[in-house]
Amino acid sequence: MLQIRSMGPNIGGEVTGVDVKQLDDDGFAPIYAAWLKYGVTVVRDQQLEIDDFLRYSRRFGDIALHPSKSTRHPDYPEITVLGTDKFDSDGKLIEAVYRRGGFGFHTDGAYDEVPFKATQLYALAVPSHGGNTHFASMYMAYDALPDRLKSLLEGRKGAYIYSSSKVAQELLNEEDRDWTPVLHPLFRTHRETGRMSLYFDPGKIVYIDGFEKQQSADVIAELAELMIQPDAEYSHEWRAGDIVIWDNRCLVHKAAGDYPPEEDRIHWRVSIADLAAGSRAAAE
């Protein structure tokens, strides 16, 4: 029987007692509702082929192609494979692969005109220790901002690129690295929950539109300092067979990047497009 319980003080939900391959629309409704409520939700104990994972993922929305072409599955471009081909031909660890998502708290797709609604991972292999994914609520980050910043940043937009980290950019083909910054409001109301959140990514933001250089840098540093509130976090300890989905509209996340590199930590990953916000279904 389907059971849902909370995992963290404010975010993080766990769904058990379900086989997502067997779900009909009525069976899916409580999972979607739990995802909106908890921001990040794990469905435990799944045994999936790629087609099962894609079919289930499409219940959350259309799948968008991720710009990192080098890590796409060769037969299923909608799937990004995380954690394979970690070593180069000299046996040296490739940091961009090993530490993918581990350079700091971030939201996926802020570099796009319409950022991803969600990211969903399915765990194929997990290491003996380490390798968690950390999450934090940006609803709570907004609520905790001093009034001074709330009024200063009301109506302001941040400009974002793929990544300011040269190492992270190695996941892109060279011809794709010249990114034109896109603007997003720093505060946004979540279309489905109606709650206000901070929308901010310290590793992708390049400036705050309309501010002088120094003011922009100061505010970015201050937001980076304030964005993670103590009770707003949940750290996911992976088990093989977990499907984890998070809401990129109101959470940030980062990989711990701390597991034994010689061990496998492998996920299939999909990005869910925010079609209601006007994104193309990203067919290339």
Ligand X SMILES: O=C(O)CCC(=O)C(=O)O
The residues that touch Fe ion, with contacts defined as CB under 5 A, are 101, 108
Tell me which of ligand X, Fe ion, none is bound by residue 82, counting a contact when its beta carbon lies within the kind-specific cut-off of 5 to 8 angstroms. ligand X
**Which spans of this chain sit near ligand X (rule: CB under 6 A)?**
82, 100-101, 108, 119, 121, 133, 253, 255, 269
Report in angstroms how near the CB of residue 78 gets to ligand X at its nearest. Answer: 14
103 or 187, CB closer to Fe ion? 103
Smallest distance, Fe ion to C-beta of residue 119, A: 6
Centre a 10 Å sphere on the Cβ of residue 48 and count the other Cβ atoms it contains. 18
Distances (CA, A) of 238 to 67, 94, 125, 134, 243: 25, 22, 9, 11, 9
Among ligand X, Fe ion, none, the one that 43 touches (CB under a kind-dependent 5 to 8 A) is none
Minimum gap (Å) between residue 40 Cβ and ligand X: 11
Are the C-beta atoms of residues 213 and 156 closer than 8 Å to each other?
no
State in angstroms the smallest separation of the CB of 119 from ligand X: 5
Minimal distance in Å, beta carbon 30 to ligand X?
25
Using CB positions, name the residue nearest to ligand X: 101
SS3 readout for 244-278: EEEECCCEEEEECCCCCCCCCCEEEEEEECCHHHC
Q: Vertex 258, ends 224 and 48: CA angle to 5°?
A: 100
Q: Which helix (H) or strand (E) holds 189?
A: strand 187-189
Binds 62: which of ligand X, Fe ion, none (CB < 5-8 Å by kind): none
Select from Fe ion, ligand X, none the partner in contact with residue 133, using the beta carbon and a kind-dependent cut-off of 5 to 8 Å. ligand X
Q: For ligand X, give the closer residue by CB, 99 or 184.
A: 99
Taking the complex as a whole, how short is the minimal distance between the CB of residue 169 and ligand X, in angstroms? 15
Report the SS3 class of residue 116. Answer: coil
Using the minimum distance from each CB to ligand X, give the nearer residue, 82 or 273: 82
Nearer to Fe ion, 139 or 162 (CB): 162
Two structure tokens written together for 22: 């067997």
* Minimum CB distance to ligand X smaller for 121 or for 208: 121
Contacts of 92 (CB under 8 A, 6+ apart): none
d(CA 52, CA 55): 5
